Structures are given as C-alpha cells and as structure tokens.
Amino acid sequence: MAQFIPADVITDLDDLSATIDTTGSGNRTAADEIHIDTANKIIYVAVDASNGMTVSGLTLKCLYSFLKDQWKNNSTLIKFPFPMTPITDEQFEFTNGWNLDQVDDTGAKGGAAVADTGSRGAYTVDLIRTGGWSVNAGPGTNDTERWFSFISLGALDSNDQIYYRQVDDTTSDPIDIVLTGAANQAIEFYSDPNGDGSTADGFNYSTFFEAFLRTWSKTYADANLADIGAEAGITYQAYRFPLANSTDVKVSASEAAAAGDDIAIDSLVGDGTTVTVTTEAAHGLETDDLMTISGATETGFNTAVGGATITVTGATTFTYSNATNATENSSPAVASGTYYNNMEISWANTSATTSITGFNDNAPTSVPTAYFTVTIDADVGSLHGTNPSAEIIYQFVQAQLRKSTDINANTSDTGERQGNITPLKLNFVGDDLFTLGQPDVPGAQDYEGVYINNYAEADQNRLHFWGYGSEVNFASTISSIARSTNVVTVTTSADHDLTTGDYVTVSGVTGDTTFNGTFEVTVTAATTFTYSSTGSDGSGTVDASSIVAPAQFINLTFPFVAILTLNFSQTLVDDTDAIYRVFFTNDDAGDNAGNDYGTAGAIIVQDADDVDIAGTISALSLQKTYAYDANVQRGTGSDGTDVPITSVAIGLNTAQYISAESTITRTITNSVTLVAPLERNYDNPA
C-alpha cells in the first residue's frame, strides 16, 4: 500500500504537461501528467515514474490553473468550452459536459488502491487534493455528481490506515482511504446519474460521514460531521477532520492475544522443558504474550490455570515452558489469549437493560439506580482464575473495535455490531478507566450506557461508568410545563413510559429556564409527571425542541474500596492451625458504644462483600478489601473515615500469639505485618 506524502502534492502548474486527444481513442500513455480528451470531455491524470506525477497527486486549484493556461495557449483547446468554473480556491464545478476520468484498466468505474508505478497508477479522482467539485452539463442543469475533499489534521505514521463510512448503520463495511498515513482524498457523496434532480437512481450522503483511525497499540480516533460543525450537511468543498493518534501506553499485548480468538494449532512438540507450537496460519502473537493452550488430546500440552508466557520464534511458531516431551500432531488444540478468551460484549434490548445500584452520590443528584444497554463482561472463566485489571479489559475491547465482523454476543436479540464501525466504548484518563456511552446509536438503541462486570476488585476505585437514569429509550416532546409551590408538572405529547424514581433531563424550555435540568420524577399519569424544583409559580415556554429524555450520567463511580494486605511470618504459614482476625480497634467514629478491641463487644472488620476478614493462614500474604465509603459497622457516621484496626494471629505448634495496630486509610496501599515468634513451649500430649 502506498503512502500519502503531503510534501509531494503538486501545486505549481509549471510542473505539469499535457497530452491532447481529439479523436476519443482512450489512449492513456504516461508521457504527460495530464491527458485531455476533447471528444469525450474527459480529463485524465497519469501516475508514472517517467512523468512528474506521484500517487500524492495535485491540488484541484493547480489543475484548474493548468487547464486555463492550456486553453489560453493551445489553438486546439480554445475551440472547446472550458471545463471548470471556480467558486473558491477549494471549490469548483466541472461544467459544459466535462468530467474527471473515473475508469480503471478494466473499464470499471470507482476508486481503487493506487500503485507506485505503472502506466495507470491510480484513478484520477483519487489524485485530486484540497478541493471539492460538482459535475453538471452546464448552467441551469442539475448536478450529476458532488465530491468533497476529506483532509485529516494531525501527523500520522506511514502505516496508519484511515477509513470511513457514509451509511448510518451498524453493519455496513467501511471504506479505506486509498493511501495510508495522513489523508487528502476526494470522496463522492452525491450521485444523480440521469440528472433529473432525484437521487433515487444514485445516493445522497450529504448528512452523514464518519472517519476512523484505529491502529493497534495506538490511541483510537473517530471524527464525524458534528466534529467539524457540518452536522447540517456538506457541500462540494474541502473539509478538515481532526484525526490524530499516539502510542497507547495501556496496550501491552499483541492484537492477536487481546482479541481472545482461538488460533488453530498444527502441531505441538515437547522436549521435556519447552514446547514448540506450530500454528496453521500466521499467529500475529508477540513475545511475552500470556497464552492458554487447550484442547490437546495429549493433555500434558494444555497449560494450567494462568496460562503460559510465550516466546515467538517465527510467523507460525512460538514456544513456552512445559515439562511435556510428547508430540501432538492432530489439531483440535488451540491457543488463545489467557485473559481474553472468555470475555464478551453484548448489547441488550430495552426490556433487558442492565440496572445497577450502589453508586456514589457524585452525579447532579443522588443516583440509586442507573441503566446500561451495553455490558462488557470481563469474566475470564476457569482458564485464568482471577478477574482482569482495567488495562486487560481495555485491550480486549480495543481489539474488538478493529474487527470487521460482528462483536455482539447478543446478536439474536439486538442485531449485529460490526466492530470497526462501532463507537468507542472505553477511554483512559491517567490510570482511571471511563466507559463511553452516547445519546444516539445508529440503527439500534436511542440511548446507550456502558457497564463492565467481573473486573478486578482492586480496580473498582478507578472505574467510571456512563449510564442512564431510566429504562426509557426515547425522548418525549413536552406539550406543557408549569410550577406550583415548588413542584413542576410536565405534560408530554405522547406516553412518556417513565417510572417513578427515574431520572430525566428536561431541556429546551424557554422563558423560565429553571425548568431545565436533571430531576427525579414522580409519575402521575401516562403523559404527566412531576419533579421538585424551587422557583416561582408559572409556566415555561415550550416548542418542538422542548424534550424530556433519560438523564445521562457520565461519571458514575462506586464507593471507594480500600485494599488491606496482611503479611504473615513463615512461622504462621508453617503452622497448619494458625488463624487470623482483624478487629476495629474502637468504634469512636461511629456509635462509640465501647465495642473496642479487648472487650467482649469487639467487632470483626468485614470486607467489601460483607464477609468477616478472618480465616486460616495459608500464604505469606493475603489481600482483602474494605468498603471505605460504605462500611458502617462502627455505627452511623463511621463511613468515609479512617479505620483503626487491630490484627491478631495465633498458631499452635510453630507460631505464638501476635497482634498489631494500624489504620485503613482511603488508599489501596494499606498493610499489616504479623511476625509471630517461634513457638517452643506449646504441648498437647496425645
């Protein structure tokens, strides 16, 4: 694939020469950059190593200037109507029956990949830069074609492939920009082949366009007409879209591993320490990917829970440490990214929207329940054993968003979602991961919240969710709104389908703008509801833009969960009878009822799942959670405060009793160390 190089774009007409064909022979030799066919009224641009034209092309203004120069100085061309009319430097019309060549070597019309050399090189329309145009027969006639110039803003690497779509749905294949790297390409958005003023026999994509930049291990970017202020529609001119990327520091795995897909294995060969894997096709993996091998009939090849770190030795080979020395030449076996091979994304219909409770009160109002139509299920299954980190989940989703296939695990219920045109779902801000919903989803749900489940418990503090305040999946037009004694009554033009307790956003009310905002509603009838709002009695002014819609909450977080690491001495680990308990040192921050450690009322601290932090000691270190913002075991007012704790441990045969005081703070780095002296005196004769 050739790369677009902006510096190579021809802007000076003196760099061009022309071949003039008055016979309509269709001959397209490459001796000159520009070919002018007066018989068919076609202008052809030739790419060839022997002339000055490269695949980076020429500006439309340069072509116009060159044609003017030719018409002025050529005694043959001056006999024909001039082909172009200028409007601005970046907007022109081809008129008097003239058009740019759009035929390839096979006679087919349309865009195609360019070649670096050769007599053909590229479609002419793919070589026009920084200019849009229309095509018509002459003044007063209807346009048969309209093209806009798509220009990307931001330096891109040579392998970055921008692609786009002009159809607003969830399944249509996007189209690659012809050249890689930064883009400057003409794209047809309007076609009326017979010029009758109707696009019934063509198309009109003037109100929708979306470009994508998704290179693995780099940040993703999308841009649409709203991003450039052209949501009302485009015309035939140049438009500049912000599209840039950078190294994605949150990506460490290969795309092949993060995608979670099975990679078919042709053979496995062990030598007692290392297994060599040969895959049926290029695997795309990278050294240090964590992979699971499963399905081998000689089960010694299958990796244990936790997978194996691989070393890539070739396009179809890699190795991993394993004590097996058998050989498996049949291929039911597969390799897959250990963390990723059981994850999935699913879209729900409105009757099955996921509702989640327990969020912090950090939205515009308290949010007891939020609703989500997209669920990222991070359940890694039995082949790994622990829930994945935010970074692992992010890489899985990013890999799905490059797929040209359906990524919806709930296709039978909510239809297909082709990955590479699906809107972004996750974004890191520092080390915090945000889900990305949206108020309008083409061809599917009107409102889309995004939730993650089965994530690593330690990551709860850095997850932020975009959810909605209602299961209702559409906006209702307001027909009247009025306030009386600080209670607002809203009447909608049709059934609103809301439920008491839903959160909605009222917008578009003029006059008294205090009617607008986010509120919890009480439903009084199919077309009416109320909400509390302090203000003067009176009515608001409404029109067709006055609506009530489910509230959008873009930063929903759960109460903070602190992490407590308990470190034990070897004397405790070696003692099969050793136990530990973690107590509140006192309950001063709550009820102050005297339930201190050292009294019969001492309280065992519970983890974030309301399970006592207590048990037997089986490892040098144990990690426990504590619901810092929500735990009220010490009584009213004790949530959200530092926690004085006393940790104790005792064994029998090898460990003496030990205790230690510490404090759980609002961090994830709390720790206690219990070093029990060696027990030399315990005796329990049989």
Model confidence at 100: pLDDT above 60: yes
Question: Reduced to 3 states, what is the DSSP secondary structure of residue 376?
Answer: strand
Domain shared by 38 and 58, yes or no: yes
* Contact indicator for 100, 43 with CB cutoff of 8 Å: yes
- Which of 512, 532, 556 is the endpoint of a domain? 556
Q: Is residue 598 part of a domain?
A: yes
Instruction: State percent of the chain over pLDDT 90.
Output: 80
Q: Is residue 1 part of a domain?
A: no
Euclidean distance between CA atoms 127 and 560, whole angstroms: 56
Model confidence at 112: pLDDT above 50: no
272-304: pLDDT as tens digits: 999 999 999 999 999 999 999 999 988 889 998
Stated pTM of the model: 0.88
pLDDT of residue 30: 67
Model confidence at 518: pLDDT above 80: yes
pLDDT of residue 381: 76
pLDDT of residue 2: 87
Domain shared by 294 and 323, yes or no: yes
Domain shared by 60 and 152, yes or no: yes
Kindly give the pairing relationship between strand 128-129 and strand 210-213. Answer: unpaired
Domain shared by 35 and 156, yes or no: yes
Domain shared by 425 and 518, yes or no: no
363-389: pLDDT as tens digits: 555 677 899 999 999 987 776 778 999
Supply the range of the domain harboring residue 313. Answer: 255-337
Rounded to 5 degrees, what are φ and ψ at 317?
-135, 150
252 Cβ contact partners less than 8 Å away, ≥ 6 residues apart: 391, 395
Residue with tokens 């201190």: 596
Q: Is residue 250 part of a domain?
A: no
pLDDT of residue 443: 46
Instruction: State percent of the chain over pLDDT 70.
Output: 94
- Please provide the average confidence, as pLDDT, over all residues in the chain: 91
Domain shared by 27 and 102, yes or no: yes
Span of 119-128, 144-153, 337-346, 581-590 with lowest mean pLDDT: 119-128
417-437: pLDDT as tens digits: 999 999 999 999 999 999 999
* Contact indicator for 137, 95 with CB cutoff of 8 Å: yes
pLDDT of residue 362: 58
Domain shared by 128 and 216, yes or no: yes
- Which of 195, 219, 242 is the endpoint of a domain? 242
- Cβ neighbours, 10 Å, residue 462: 18
75 Cβ contact partners less than 8 Å away, ≥ 6 residues apart: none
114-168: pLDDT as tens digits: 343 333 345 899 999 999 999 998 888 999 999 999 999 998 999 999 999 999 9
Q: Is residue 680 part of a domain?
A: no
Domain shared by 152 and 199, yes or no: yes
Q: What's the residue count for the chain?
A: 686
CATH number at residue 281: 2.40.30.180
Q: Is residue 248 part of a domain?
A: no
> Could you tell me which residues are beta bridge partners of residue 623?
565
Domain shared by 190 and 62, yes or no: yes
145-159: pLDDT as tens digits: 999 999 999 989 999
Total number of domains in the chain: 5
Q: Is residue 130 part of a domain?
A: yes
pLDDT of residue 361: 67
- Which of 441, 468, 495 is the endpoint of a domain? 468
Q: Is residue 152 part of a domain?
A: yes
Domain shared by 515 and 414, yes or no: no
Model confidence at 636: pLDDT above 70: yes
pLDDT of residue 121: 40
Give the single-character DSSP code of 448: B
Q: Is residue 686 part of a domain?
A: no
Domain shared by 19 and 125, yes or no: yes
The amino acid at residue 87 is: I
Arithmetic mean of pLDDT, 333-354: 89
Domain shared by 156 and 259, yes or no: no
